[in-house]
Amino acid sequence: MPRHEKMRQTTGVRASIASAAARLMAEDGITDYHQAKRKAAHQLGISDRTNYPDNAEVETELRAYRSIFMDEENLERLSALRHTALDLLDLLAEFHPYLTGSVLDGTAGEHSHIDIQIFADSAKEVEIFLLNRGMVYEHIEPRNEKVEAVLLLETDTADANLVIYPPRLERVSLKHRDGRPRTRIRAEGLRALLTE
Protein backbone atom coordinates (compact mmCIF):
# COMPACT_ATOMS: atom_id res chain seq x y z
CA MET A 1 0.00 0.00 0.00
CA PRO A 2 1.40 3.44 -0.94
CA ARG A 3 2.48 5.62 1.98
CA HIS A 4 -0.08 8.39 1.32
CA GLU A 5 -2.87 5.80 1.18
CA LYS A 6 -1.76 4.33 4.52
CA MET A 7 -1.68 7.84 6.08
CA ARG A 8 -5.18 8.57 4.80
CA GLN A 9 -6.44 5.27 6.24
CA THR A 10 -4.79 5.99 9.62
CA THR A 11 -6.33 9.47 9.67
CA GLY A 12 -9.76 7.97 8.93
CA VAL A 13 -9.41 5.44 11.75
CA ARG A 14 -8.35 8.15 14.20
CA ALA A 15 -11.32 10.31 13.15
CA SER A 16 -13.72 7.38 13.59
CA ILE A 17 -12.39 6.66 17.07
CA ALA A 18 -12.55 10.35 18.01
CA SER A 19 -16.15 10.61 16.83
CA ALA A 20 -17.26 7.42 18.60
CA ALA A 21 -15.41 8.41 21.80
CA ALA A 22 -17.12 11.82 21.77
CA ARG A 23 -20.52 10.15 21.41
CA LEU A 24 -19.72 7.85 24.36
CA MET A 25 -18.67 10.81 26.47
CA ALA A 26 -21.80 12.76 25.58
CA GLU A 27 -24.32 9.93 25.91
CA ASP A 28 -22.83 7.61 28.54
CA GLY A 29 -21.15 10.16 30.78
CA ILE A 30 -17.62 8.82 30.36
CA THR A 31 -15.25 11.53 31.55
CA ASP A 32 -11.91 9.78 31.05
CA TYR A 33 -10.66 10.38 27.51
CA HIS A 34 -8.49 7.26 27.37
CA GLN A 35 -11.34 5.04 28.53
CA ALA A 36 -13.68 6.57 25.93
CA LYS A 37 -11.11 6.02 23.15
CA ARG A 38 -10.49 2.40 24.15
CA LYS A 39 -14.21 1.65 24.36
CA ALA A 40 -14.83 3.38 21.01
CA ALA A 41 -12.05 1.38 19.32
CA HIS A 42 -13.48 -1.83 20.77
CA GLN A 43 -16.99 -0.97 19.52
CA LEU A 44 -15.59 -0.22 16.07
CA GLY A 45 -13.62 -3.48 16.02
CA ILE A 46 -10.31 -1.63 15.85
CA SER A 47 -7.16 -3.09 17.41
CA ASP A 48 -5.90 -1.81 20.78
CA ARG A 49 -2.54 -1.22 19.12
CA THR A 50 -4.00 1.45 16.86
CA ASN A 51 -2.66 4.97 17.20
CA TYR A 52 -5.56 6.65 19.06
CA PRO A 53 -6.55 10.26 18.43
CA ASP A 54 -5.31 12.73 21.01
CA ASN A 55 -7.63 14.34 23.54
CA ALA A 56 -7.87 17.55 21.51
CA GLU A 57 -9.30 15.60 18.55
CA VAL A 58 -11.90 13.95 20.79
CA GLU A 59 -12.74 17.31 22.39
CA THR A 60 -13.27 18.84 18.93
CA GLU A 61 -15.65 15.99 18.06
CA LEU A 62 -17.43 16.35 21.41
CA ARG A 63 -17.96 20.05 20.76
CA ALA A 64 -19.32 19.25 17.28
CA TYR A 65 -21.58 16.54 18.69
CA ARG A 66 -22.97 18.87 21.34
CA SER A 67 -23.56 21.65 18.79
CA ILE A 68 -25.56 19.28 16.57
CA PHE A 69 -27.49 17.45 19.27
CA MET A 70 -27.64 20.09 22.01
CA ASP A 71 -31.29 20.81 22.53
CA GLU A 72 -32.91 23.46 24.70
CA GLU A 73 -32.64 21.24 27.78
CA ASN A 74 -28.87 20.85 27.33
CA LEU A 75 -28.44 24.60 26.84
CA GLU A 76 -30.39 25.22 30.04
CA ARG A 77 -28.25 22.65 31.87
CA LEU A 78 -25.03 24.32 30.69
CA SER A 79 -26.36 27.70 31.82
CA ALA A 80 -27.32 26.26 35.23
CA LEU A 81 -23.86 24.68 35.61
CA ARG A 82 -22.20 27.98 34.76
CA HIS A 83 -24.37 29.90 37.23
CA THR A 84 -23.53 27.39 39.97
CA ALA A 85 -19.86 27.68 39.03
CA LEU A 86 -20.11 31.47 39.34
CA ASP A 87 -21.64 31.14 42.80
CA LEU A 88 -18.74 28.89 43.81
CA LEU A 89 -16.15 31.26 42.34
CA ASP A 90 -17.68 34.11 44.33
CA LEU A 91 -17.86 32.01 47.51
CA LEU A 92 -14.23 30.88 47.19
CA ALA A 93 -12.88 34.29 46.11
CA GLU A 94 -10.21 34.43 48.82
CA PHE A 95 -8.59 31.32 47.30
CA HIS A 96 -8.21 32.83 43.79
CA PRO A 97 -10.57 30.36 42.05
CA TYR A 98 -10.74 29.65 38.32
CA LEU A 99 -13.36 27.72 36.36
CA THR A 100 -11.91 25.18 33.94
CA GLY A 101 -13.04 22.05 32.12
CA SER A 102 -16.22 21.13 30.29
CA VAL A 103 -18.46 23.70 31.98
CA LEU A 104 -16.17 26.43 30.70
CA ASP A 105 -15.56 25.06 27.21
CA GLY A 106 -19.25 24.25 26.61
CA THR A 107 -18.89 20.47 26.27
CA ALA A 108 -20.55 19.75 29.64
CA GLY A 109 -23.44 17.35 29.66
CA GLU A 110 -25.73 15.51 31.99
CA HIS A 111 -22.89 13.69 33.78
CA SER A 112 -20.38 16.53 33.95
CA HIS A 113 -18.74 17.95 37.06
CA ILE A 114 -17.88 21.58 37.67
CA ASP A 115 -14.07 21.86 37.79
CA ILE A 116 -12.60 24.69 39.84
CA GLN A 117 -8.93 25.32 40.47
CA ILE A 118 -8.15 27.08 43.73
CA PHE A 119 -4.86 28.27 45.19
CA ALA A 120 -4.42 28.06 48.94
CA ASP A 121 -1.57 27.81 51.43
CA SER A 122 -2.99 24.45 52.52
CA ALA A 123 -5.89 22.14 51.77
CA LYS A 124 -6.81 22.30 55.48
CA GLU A 125 -7.48 26.01 55.12
CA VAL A 126 -10.06 25.29 52.39
CA GLU A 127 -11.59 22.44 54.38
CA ILE A 128 -12.03 24.65 57.44
CA PHE A 129 -13.58 27.34 55.25
CA LEU A 130 -16.14 24.84 53.90
CA LEU A 131 -16.86 23.29 57.30
CA ASN A 132 -17.48 26.74 58.82
CA ARG A 133 -20.18 27.23 56.19
CA GLY A 134 -21.75 23.82 56.83
CA MET A 135 -20.72 22.51 53.42
CA VAL A 136 -20.16 18.77 53.11
CA TYR A 137 -17.32 17.51 50.93
CA GLU A 138 -15.29 14.38 50.39
CA HIS A 139 -11.71 13.77 49.33
CA ILE A 140 -10.83 12.40 45.90
CA GLU A 141 -7.46 11.03 44.91
CA PRO A 142 -5.50 13.69 42.97
CA ARG A 143 -4.35 12.66 39.48
CA ASN A 144 -1.47 15.11 39.39
CA GLU A 145 1.51 15.41 41.73
CA LYS A 146 1.22 19.23 41.73
CA VAL A 147 -2.25 19.05 43.29
CA GLU A 148 -2.45 19.36 47.09
CA ALA A 149 -5.95 17.86 47.31
CA VAL A 150 -9.21 17.44 45.43
CA LEU A 151 -12.44 18.03 47.33
CA LEU A 152 -15.73 16.85 45.84
CA LEU A 153 -18.50 19.25 46.79
CA GLU A 154 -22.14 18.42 46.09
CA THR A 155 -24.31 21.23 44.73
CA ASP A 156 -27.94 21.32 43.58
CA THR A 157 -26.81 21.37 39.96
CA ALA A 158 -23.82 19.00 39.83
CA ASP A 159 -20.86 17.84 41.85
CA ALA A 160 -17.94 20.26 41.89
CA ASN A 161 -14.30 19.24 41.97
CA LEU A 162 -12.29 21.78 43.95
CA VAL A 163 -8.72 21.15 42.82
CA ILE A 164 -6.35 22.74 45.32
CA TYR A 165 -2.90 23.94 44.21
CA PRO A 166 -0.22 25.82 46.15
CA PRO A 167 -0.31 29.62 45.54
CA ARG A 168 3.02 29.60 43.64
CA LEU A 169 1.31 27.70 40.76
CA GLU A 170 -1.36 30.34 40.11
CA ARG A 171 0.84 32.15 37.60
CA VAL A 172 1.93 28.90 35.92
CA SER A 173 0.14 27.75 32.77
CA LEU A 174 -1.32 24.43 33.90
CA LYS A 175 -1.74 21.78 31.25
CA HIS A 176 -3.96 18.81 30.45
CA ARG A 177 -2.36 15.39 30.72
CA ASP A 178 -1.78 15.42 26.96
CA GLY A 179 0.23 18.68 27.20
CA ARG A 180 -2.39 21.15 25.94
CA PRO A 181 -2.75 24.34 28.02
CA ARG A 182 -5.76 24.23 30.34
CA THR A 183 -8.13 27.11 29.67
CA ARG A 184 -9.44 28.81 32.79
CA ILE A 185 -11.30 31.98 33.75
CA ARG A 186 -12.01 33.99 36.88
CA ALA A 187 -15.47 35.05 38.06
CA GLU A 188 -15.40 38.28 36.00
CA GLY A 189 -14.78 36.32 32.80
CA LEU A 190 -17.59 33.88 33.59
CA ARG A 191 -19.98 36.77 34.29
CA ALA A 192 -19.14 38.18 30.87
CA LEU A 193 -19.65 34.74 29.28
CA LEU A 194 -23.06 34.42 30.91
CA THR A 195 -24.22 37.75 29.50
CA GLU A 196 -23.35 36.81 25.89
For 87-119, what is each residue's pLDDT tens digit?
999 999 999 999 999 899 888 877 789 999 999
Looking at the predicted structure, is the pLDDT value of residue 8 above 80? no
Which residues 6+ apart lie within 8 Å of 130 measured at CB? 137, 151, 153
Over residues 134-162, mean pLDDT: 92
- For a pLDDT cut of 90, what percent of the chain falls above it? 41
Over residues 56-72, mean pLDDT: 79
- How confident is residue 144, by pLDDT bands cut at 50, 70 and 90? confident
What local confidence, expressed as pLDDT, does residue 189 receive?
A: 94
What local confidence, expressed as pLDDT, does residue 173 receive?
A: 79
In degrees, to the nearest 5, what angle opens at C-alpha 80 toward C-alphas 196 and 112? 110
- For a pLDDT cut of 70, what percent of the chain falls above it? 92
Question: Are 79 and 103 within 8 A, CB to CB?
Answer: no
CA distance 139 to 123: 10
Which residues 6+ apart lie within 8 Å of 125 measured at CB? 95
- How confident is residue 69, by pLDDT bands cut at 50, 70 and 90? confident
For the chain, what is the radius of gyration of the CA atoms?
A: 19
Looking at the predicted structure, is the pLDDT value of residue 195 above 80? yes
